[in-house]
Amino acid sequence: MSDRIVGAEVIVTSPTRNFVTLKVTTDDGVVGYGDATLNGRELAVASYLRDHVAPLLLGRDARRVEDTWQYLYRGAYWRRGPVTMAAIGAVDVALWDIKGKTLGQPVYQLLGGPVRDRVLGYTHATGWELPELLDSVREKTEQGFQAVRAQMGVPGLDTVYGVDREARAYEPAGRGAAPVEEVWDTDAYLRSAPDVLSGLRAEVGPELRLLHDAHHRLTPQQAARLGRALEPADLFWLEDVTPAENQEALRLVRRHTTVPLAVGEVFNTVWDCQQLITEQLIDFVRTCVSHAGGISHVRRIFQLAELYQVRGAPHGPSDVSPVALGASLHVGLSTPNFAIQEYMGYDPLVHEVFPHAWSYADGHLTPGDAPGIGVGLDEALAARFPYEGAYLPVARRRDGSMTDW
């Protein structure tokens, strides 16, 4: 048997969202898939893969997963960054997929086997005011979810990222040639959020895990103030409470609140979150398989985190494909300090384009037992949905200046 790579193809499709998929083929016909989706910059990663990485893969031994990771990371002068790490991550996941298929085993078995039977998942609930938010949360709990991220509107604003005035479901990215610009008011948010979330907790009781995302928009002082004010709401976590590029900022937040902190969905390497982990400035690290170098590198991040009692909780919105979610679930099933997996869900069309073995039931996800990652790609169907520009909104303060996110 030979495992030389003879093909590396980049497939871009947009069945309601843009997805970038790497298809790697060996000379004995085994195909592996990796997700390289980077929302709002999808074509940059597609070009990076097609023009710079795919030619390097031809002729390489697909069995040498770690060596290929090191080759792609160390072999380029320019390291790290979201485009590079998304490309490397796609290759890594595709090679793990091939390895599992070649050996006839699901990837989690190759990672040491399961340490749990299933992976806890959380989804999103939204409502402009508390009554609508409560209805949305109850809808999710009726679907079996035991953990729910709750996002609400802000008094005096017309739009808020992650919340739709008219519907309980929302699509984060808007189609178009440029991002929508929204107005943001931090003071109004800080006044209203604690009351809404505490009110929600009073209605749903103590057992439901409630999460909330501040979307990087606060200064360290504001973040500390919010964390302290949210302690009565007994959150499972407060996410992205301040931009974490300034990692020392989390020290101030830590000193003033006991609310668990989750950070890292925009991080791409272990070095991005090293200080946050080793100084125990966070409780959950949110690096995503498709944005942080694939299975191989995310495992390294979580292994470092385990030493400091920080738990893995990967990013998993609708703009990472079912390939990435499947890979993340294999990591989750085999990683001791894996806490929870974000699962927004997908449009039914996405499930058709990416048939998969992973499944959701009763608040939990499982990767399935198909060899490899267990996610395929219907290329004929994917070809019917070409790329369309889509961007997350950006926000400006009332004076017209840009927010940090």
Instruction: Pick the catalytic residue from 48, 108, 161, 343.
Output: 161
**Quick check: is 48 catalytic?**
no
Angle, CA 311 vertex, CA 140 and CA 110 arms, to 5°: 95
Angstrom CA distances, 161 to 169, 226, 285, stand at 12, 18, 22
Checking DSSP bridges between strand 237-239 and strand 261-263, what pairing results, if any?
A: parallel
**Quick check: is 216 catalytic?**
no
Q: What is d(CA 97, CA 373) in angstroms, rounded to the nearest whole number?
A: 5
Instruction: Pick the catalytic residue from 124, 215, 291, 315.
Output: 215
| β-pair partners for 364 | 120, 361
- Number of Cα atoms under 13 Å in the Cβ half of residue 214: 34
| Secondary structure (DSSP) of 332-386 | HHH-TTB--EE-----HHHHHHS-BS-EEETTEEE--SSSBT-B---HHHHTTS-
Number of neighbours of residue 402 by Cβ within 10 angstroms: 11
- Say if residues 86 and 38 touch (Cβ distance below 8 Å): yes
Q: Which residues are catalytic?
A: 161, 215
